[in-house]
Chain A
Protein backbone atom coordinates (compact mmCIF):
# COMPACT_ATOMS: atom_id res chain seq x y z
CA UNK A 1 0.00 0.00 0.00
CA UNK A 2 1.56 3.24 -1.14
CA UNK A 3 -0.37 6.42 -0.68
CA UNK A 4 0.38 9.02 -3.27
CA UNK A 5 -0.77 12.54 -3.88
CA UNK A 6 -2.66 13.19 -7.08
CA UNK A 7 -3.69 16.30 -8.85
CA UNK A 8 -7.25 15.72 -10.04
CA UNK A 9 -8.96 17.93 -12.58
CA UNK A 10 -12.71 17.24 -12.69
CA UNK A 11 -14.71 17.31 -15.88
CA UNK A 12 -16.80 20.01 -14.31
CA UNK A 13 -16.14 22.24 -11.34
CA UNK A 14 -19.68 22.15 -9.98
CA UNK A 15 -20.26 21.10 -6.41
CA UNK A 16 -21.96 17.80 -7.18
CA UNK A 17 -19.04 16.65 -9.34
CA UNK A 18 -16.54 17.62 -6.68
CA UNK A 19 -18.60 15.86 -4.04
CA UNK A 20 -18.79 12.71 -6.14
CA UNK A 21 -15.03 12.72 -6.68
CA UNK A 22 -14.55 13.22 -2.95
CA UNK A 23 -16.83 10.19 -2.44
CA UNK A 24 -14.67 8.10 -4.78
CA UNK A 25 -11.61 9.12 -2.78
CA UNK A 26 -13.22 8.58 0.62
CA UNK A 27 -14.61 5.20 -0.41
CA UNK A 28 -11.06 4.04 -1.04
CA UNK A 29 -9.72 5.37 2.22
CA UNK A 30 -8.20 8.47 0.70
CA UNK A 31 -8.39 12.13 1.61
CA UNK A 32 -9.00 15.39 -0.13
CA UNK A 33 -6.01 17.49 0.81
CA UNK A 34 -7.06 20.74 -0.76
CA UNK A 35 -9.10 22.31 -3.47
CA UNK A 36 -7.85 24.92 -5.84
CA UNK A 37 -9.38 28.03 -7.27
CA UNK A 38 -10.51 26.33 -10.48
CA UNK A 39 -12.05 23.33 -8.71
CA UNK A 40 -9.13 20.96 -9.14
CA UNK A 41 -8.38 18.78 -6.16
CA UNK A 42 -5.23 17.55 -4.54
CA UNK A 43 -5.99 14.16 -3.06
CA UNK A 44 -4.07 11.45 -1.28
CA UNK A 45 -5.05 7.92 -2.21
CA UNK A 46 -3.50 4.50 -2.41
CA UNK A 47 -1.91 4.22 -5.84
CA UNK A 48 -3.69 0.90 -6.21
CA UNK A 49 -6.80 2.98 -6.88
CA UNK A 50 -5.16 5.51 -9.15
CA UNK A 51 -6.62 3.88 -12.24
CA UNK A 52 -10.11 3.86 -10.74
CA UNK A 53 -9.72 7.57 -10.14
CA UNK A 54 -8.38 8.27 -13.64
CA UNK A 55 -11.04 6.17 -15.31
CA UNK A 56 -13.91 7.86 -13.52
CA UNK A 57 -16.19 9.69 -15.90
CA UNK A 58 -16.06 12.64 -13.52
CA UNK A 59 -12.31 13.01 -13.79
CA UNK A 60 -10.81 14.75 -16.76
CA UNK A 61 -7.21 14.27 -15.74
CA UNK A 62 -5.31 12.88 -12.78
CA UNK A 63 -1.59 12.63 -12.26
CA UNK A 64 0.81 12.24 -9.38
CA UNK A 65 2.27 15.21 -7.57
CA UNK A 66 4.90 15.56 -4.88
CA UNK A 67 5.28 18.15 -2.19
CA UNK A 68 8.70 19.68 -2.42
CA UNK A 69 9.53 20.70 1.12
CA UNK A 70 11.80 23.43 -0.19
CA UNK A 71 8.94 25.10 -2.01
CA UNK A 72 8.11 28.67 -1.11
CA UNK A 73 4.90 27.73 0.67
CA UNK A 74 5.55 24.07 1.38
CA UNK A 75 5.10 24.45 5.10
CA UNK A 76 1.71 26.19 4.95
CA UNK A 77 0.58 23.61 2.41
CA UNK A 78 1.74 20.80 4.65
CA UNK A 79 -0.16 22.29 7.55
CA UNK A 80 -3.23 22.69 5.39
CA UNK A 81 -3.00 19.06 4.26
CA UNK A 82 -2.53 17.90 7.84
CA UNK A 83 -5.47 19.97 9.02
CA UNK A 84 -7.75 18.58 6.34
CA UNK A 85 -6.66 14.99 6.95
CA UNK A 86 -7.11 15.37 10.70
CA UNK A 87 -10.54 16.90 10.24
CA UNK A 88 -11.66 14.17 7.85
CA UNK A 89 -10.23 11.44 10.08
CA UNK A 90 -12.01 12.87 13.10
CA UNK A 91 -15.25 13.09 11.19
CA UNK A 92 -14.93 9.46 10.12
CA UNK A 93 -14.53 8.35 13.72
CA UNK A 94 -10.91 7.40 13.49
CA UNK A 95 -9.55 5.63 16.54
CA UNK A 96 -5.84 6.31 16.97
CA UNK A 97 -5.31 3.23 19.13
CA UNK A 98 -6.55 0.83 16.45
CA UNK A 99 -6.07 2.90 13.35
CA UNK A 100 -9.58 2.05 12.22
CA UNK A 101 -12.41 4.28 11.22
CA UNK A 102 -15.96 3.73 12.37
CA UNK A 103 -17.67 4.99 9.30
CA UNK A 104 -16.29 6.50 6.16
CA UNK A 105 -19.49 8.28 5.39
CA UNK A 106 -20.90 9.83 8.52
CA UNK A 107 -22.67 13.15 8.16
CA UNK A 108 -20.05 15.74 7.41
CA UNK A 109 -17.39 13.17 6.59
CA UNK A 110 -15.80 15.49 4.10
CA UNK A 111 -15.08 18.69 5.94
CA UNK A 112 -12.50 20.70 4.19
CA UNK A 113 -10.74 23.88 4.97
CA UNK A 114 -10.79 25.85 1.82
CA UNK A 115 -7.96 27.96 0.69
CA UNK A 116 -8.82 31.49 -0.19
Chain B
Protein backbone atom coordinates (compact mmCIF):
# COMPACT_ATOMS: atom_id res chain seq x y z
CA UNK B 1 0.00 0.00 0.00
CA UNK B 2 1.46 3.31 -1.07
CA UNK B 3 1.92 5.96 1.54
CA UNK B 4 -0.59 8.74 1.88
CA UNK B 5 1.97 11.25 0.70
CA UNK B 6 2.60 9.20 -2.41
CA UNK B 7 -1.11 8.91 -3.11
CA UNK B 8 -1.48 12.66 -2.92
CA UNK B 9 1.39 13.00 -5.32
CA UNK B 10 -0.30 10.56 -7.66
CA UNK B 11 -3.24 12.94 -8.28
CA UNK B 12 -2.89 13.69 -12.01
CA UNK B 13 -2.57 17.46 -11.79
CA UNK B 14 -0.71 17.93 -15.07
CA UNK B 15 -3.42 16.00 -16.92
CA UNK B 16 -6.18 17.94 -15.24
CA UNK B 17 -4.57 21.29 -15.96
CA UNK B 18 -3.94 20.33 -19.56
CA UNK B 19 -7.48 19.13 -20.09
CA UNK B 20 -8.93 22.24 -18.50
CA UNK B 21 -6.73 24.52 -20.59
CA UNK B 22 -7.62 22.56 -23.70
CA UNK B 23 -11.33 22.78 -22.95
CA UNK B 24 -11.02 26.52 -22.36
CA UNK B 25 -9.16 27.00 -25.62
CA UNK B 26 -11.78 25.02 -27.53
CA UNK B 27 -14.61 26.88 -25.81
CA UNK B 28 -12.98 30.23 -26.52
CA UNK B 29 -12.55 29.32 -30.18
CA UNK B 30 -16.19 28.31 -30.53
CA UNK B 31 -17.36 31.47 -28.77
CA UNK B 32 -15.20 33.65 -31.01
CA UNK B 33 -16.48 31.81 -34.06
CA UNK B 34 -20.08 32.40 -32.98
CA UNK B 35 -19.35 36.09 -32.39
CA UNK B 36 -17.75 36.41 -35.82
CA UNK B 37 -20.71 34.74 -37.45
CA UNK B 38 -22.96 37.19 -35.63
CA UNK B 39 -20.80 40.06 -36.87
CA UNK B 40 -21.16 38.78 -40.44
CA UNK B 41 -24.93 38.51 -40.09
CA UNK B 42 -25.23 41.95 -38.52
CA UNK B 43 -23.10 43.41 -41.30
CA UNK B 44 -25.53 42.07 -43.92
CA UNK B 45 -28.86 42.89 -42.33
CA UNK B 46 -30.17 46.36 -42.91
CA UNK B 47 -32.48 48.63 -41.06
CA UNK B 48 -34.00 51.83 -42.37
CA UNK B 49 -34.00 54.75 -40.04
CA UNK B 50 -35.57 58.15 -40.54
CA UNK B 51 -32.89 60.32 -39.04
CA UNK B 52 -34.80 63.56 -38.76
CA UNK B 53 -38.29 64.94 -38.72
CA UNK B 54 -38.77 68.55 -39.73
CA UNK B 55 -41.30 70.87 -38.21
CA UNK B 56 -41.55 74.21 -39.95
CA UNK B 57 -43.49 76.78 -37.94
CA UNK B 58 -44.58 79.77 -39.96
CA UNK B 59 -46.85 82.68 -39.19
CA UNK B 60 -50.38 81.73 -39.98
CA UNK B 61 -53.51 83.61 -40.67
CA UNK B 62 -54.66 86.23 -38.22
CA UNK B 63 -58.18 85.46 -37.16
CA UNK B 64 -60.67 87.22 -35.03
CA UNK B 65 -63.02 84.74 -33.39
CA UNK B 66 -66.66 85.53 -33.60
CA UNK B 67 -67.80 87.90 -30.94
CA UNK B 68 -64.30 88.96 -30.01
CA UNK B 69 -62.40 92.04 -30.92
CA UNK B 70 -59.00 90.44 -30.10
CA UNK B 71 -57.22 89.16 -33.15
CA UNK B 72 -55.46 85.81 -32.73
CA UNK B 73 -52.29 85.19 -34.60
CA UNK B 74 -52.29 81.69 -35.99
CA UNK B 75 -49.35 79.50 -36.94
CA UNK B 76 -48.86 77.08 -39.73
CA UNK B 77 -46.89 73.96 -38.89
CA UNK B 78 -45.56 71.98 -41.76
CA UNK B 79 -44.26 68.47 -41.07
CA UNK B 80 -41.72 66.78 -43.21
CA UNK B 81 -39.14 64.07 -42.75
CA UNK B 82 -35.80 63.28 -44.19
CA UNK B 83 -35.37 60.36 -46.50
CA UNK B 84 -34.87 57.07 -44.65
CA UNK B 85 -31.26 56.09 -44.29
CA UNK B 86 -30.37 52.46 -44.61
CA UNK B 87 -27.83 51.15 -42.13
CA UNK B 88 -26.54 47.70 -41.51
CA UNK B 89 -27.31 46.57 -37.99
CA UNK B 90 -23.60 46.73 -37.26
CA UNK B 91 -23.44 50.35 -38.35
CA UNK B 92 -26.62 51.08 -36.48
CA UNK B 93 -25.02 50.01 -33.22
CA UNK B 94 -25.64 46.33 -32.68
CA UNK B 95 -22.33 44.62 -32.15
CA UNK B 96 -21.62 40.99 -31.39
CA UNK B 97 -20.78 40.23 -27.81
CA UNK B 98 -17.38 38.66 -27.35
CA UNK B 99 -16.68 36.55 -24.32
CA UNK B 100 -13.43 35.74 -22.63
CA UNK B 101 -12.47 33.25 -19.98
CA UNK B 102 -10.92 35.48 -17.38
CA UNK B 103 -10.22 33.10 -14.55
CA UNK B 104 -10.02 29.36 -14.12
CA UNK B 105 -9.65 27.41 -10.93
CA UNK B 106 -8.92 23.76 -10.34
CA UNK B 107 -9.63 22.61 -6.86
CA UNK B 108 -8.88 19.07 -5.80
CA UNK B 109 -9.83 17.80 -2.39
CA UNK B 110 -8.66 14.41 -1.26
CA UNK B 111 -9.16 12.89 2.11
CA UNK B 112 -7.34 9.70 2.99
CA UNK B 113 -7.70 7.94 6.30
CA UNK B 114 -5.89 4.87 7.35
CA UNK B 115 -6.44 3.01 10.61
CA UNK B 116 -4.83 -0.08 12.01
CA UNK B 117 -6.11 -1.86 15.09
CA UNK B 118 -4.08 -4.62 16.62
CA UNK B 119 -5.50 -6.51 19.56
CA UNK B 120 -3.79 -9.30 21.46
CA UNK B 121 -5.34 -11.46 24.13
CA UNK B 122 -3.22 -13.69 26.24
CA UNK B 123 -4.69 -16.02 28.86
CA UNK B 124 -2.91 -18.49 30.98
CA UNK B 125 -4.44 -20.73 33.56
CA UNK B 126 -3.43 -23.60 35.83
CA UNK B 127 -5.44 -26.10 37.84
CA UNK B 128 -3.96 -28.06 40.62
CA UNK B 129 -5.95 -30.72 42.33
CA UNK B 130 -4.85 -33.13 45.03
CA UNK B 131 -6.79 -35.71 46.90
CA UNK B 132 -5.82 -37.97 49.78
CA UNK B 133 -7.66 -41.13 50.58
CA UNK B 134 -7.06 -42.88 53.85
CA UNK B 135 -8.22 -46.41 54.35
CA UNK B 136 -7.80 -47.95 57.79
CA UNK B 137 -8.80 -51.37 58.86
CA UNK B 138 -8.54 -52.79 62.37
CA UNK B 139 -8.90 -56.43 63.33
CA UNK B 140 -8.93 -57.87 66.83
CA UNK B 141 -9.68 -61.21 68.44
CA UNK B 142 -8.52 -63.03 71.46
CA UNK B 143 -5.17 -63.89 70.08
CA UNK B 144 -4.61 -61.21 67.66
CA UNK B 145 -4.81 -57.68 67.53
CA UNK B 146 -3.81 -55.84 64.46
CA UNK B 147 -4.78 -53.54 61.74
CA UNK B 148 -3.76 -52.00 58.50
CA UNK B 149 -4.03 -48.67 56.94
CA UNK B 150 -3.58 -47.33 53.45
CA UNK B 151 -3.10 -43.80 52.44
CA UNK B 152 -3.53 -42.91 48.78
CA UNK B 153 -2.61 -39.51 47.56
CA UNK B 154 -3.28 -38.39 44.01
CA UNK B 155 -2.48 -35.07 42.44
CA UNK B 156 -3.41 -33.62 39.05
CA UNK B 157 -2.00 -30.55 37.53
CA UNK B 158 -3.25 -28.98 34.34
CA UNK B 159 -2.50 -25.72 32.69
CA UNK B 160 -3.63 -23.97 29.51
CA UNK B 161 -2.43 -21.06 27.45
CA UNK B 162 -4.69 -19.14 25.09
CA UNK B 163 -3.19 -16.63 22.77
CA UNK B 164 -5.37 -14.70 20.39
CA UNK B 165 -4.30 -11.93 18.13
CA UNK B 166 -6.19 -9.95 15.52
CA UNK B 167 -5.26 -7.10 13.23
CA UNK B 168 -7.88 -4.88 11.68
CA UNK B 169 -6.90 -2.62 8.83
CA UNK B 170 -9.21 0.13 7.60
CA UNK B 171 -8.51 2.38 4.65
CA UNK B 172 -10.77 4.95 3.08
CA UNK B 173 -10.14 7.60 0.47
CA UNK B 174 -12.55 10.30 -0.65
CA UNK B 175 -11.86 12.79 -3.33
CA UNK B 176 -13.62 15.59 -5.14
CA UNK B 177 -12.48 17.96 -7.79
CA UNK B 178 -13.92 21.27 -8.90
CA UNK B 179 -13.20 23.09 -12.11
CA UNK B 180 -14.51 26.64 -12.21
CA UNK B 181 -14.10 29.17 -14.96
CA UNK B 182 -15.34 32.71 -15.22
CA UNK B 183 -16.65 33.96 -18.52
CA UNK B 184 -17.00 37.69 -19.04
CA UNK B 185 -18.17 39.76 -21.97
CA UNK B 186 -15.37 41.86 -23.36
CA UNK B 187 -15.21 44.59 -25.99
CA UNK B 188 -14.84 43.17 -29.47
CA UNK B 189 -11.26 42.87 -30.68
CA UNK B 190 -10.70 45.86 -33.00
CA UNK B 191 -9.49 43.69 -35.86
CA UNK B 192 -12.47 41.41 -35.79
CA UNK B 193 -15.14 44.04 -36.17
CA UNK B 194 -15.27 45.76 -39.52
CA UNK B 195 -14.43 49.42 -39.62
CA UNK B 196 -16.84 51.86 -41.17
CA UNK B 197 -15.17 53.71 -43.99
CA UNK B 198 -17.12 56.77 -45.09
CA UNK B 199 -16.32 58.34 -48.41
CA UNK B 200 -17.80 61.78 -48.70
CA UNK B 201 -17.97 62.37 -52.42
CA UNK B 202 -19.61 65.74 -51.94
CA UNK B 203 -16.23 67.20 -51.21
CA UNK B 204 -13.49 67.58 -53.71
CA UNK B 205 -11.32 65.64 -53.32
CA UNK B 206 -13.61 63.09 -51.61
CA UNK B 207 -13.08 62.92 -47.87
CA UNK B 208 -12.49 59.52 -46.35
CA UNK B 209 -13.12 58.95 -42.68
CA UNK B 210 -12.64 55.68 -40.82
CA UNK B 211 -14.49 54.92 -37.62
Which A residues have a C-beta under 8 Å from some C-beta of B?
4-5, 7, 9, 34, 36-38, 40, 42, 61, 63-74, 76-77, 115-116
Contact = CB atoms under 8 A, between A and B. Distances in A.
B3 to A, nearest CB: 45
A114 B33 CA distance: 29
A68 B97 CA distance: 10
- Which 7 pairs of residues, A with B, have the shortest CB-CB distance? A71-B93, A74-B93, A64-B97, A73-B92, A63-B38, A63-B34, A73-B49
Contact of B185 (A64, A68, A73): A64
A63 B96 contact: yes
Contacts of A40: 41, 45
Interface residues of B, number: 28
Contacts of A66: 94-97, 185
A68 B94 contact: yes
B92 A71 contact: yes
Q: Mostly helix, strand, loop or mixed at chain B's interface?
A: mixed
Contacts of A70: 93
Given A61-B41, A67-B95, A73-B51, 20 more contacts: A34-B47, A38-B45, A61-B34, A61-B38, A63-B34, A63-B35, A63-B37, A64-B99, A64-B185, A66-B96, A66-B185, A71-B91, A71-B95, A72-B87, A73-B47, A73-B87, A76-B50, A76-B92, A77-B93, A115-B48
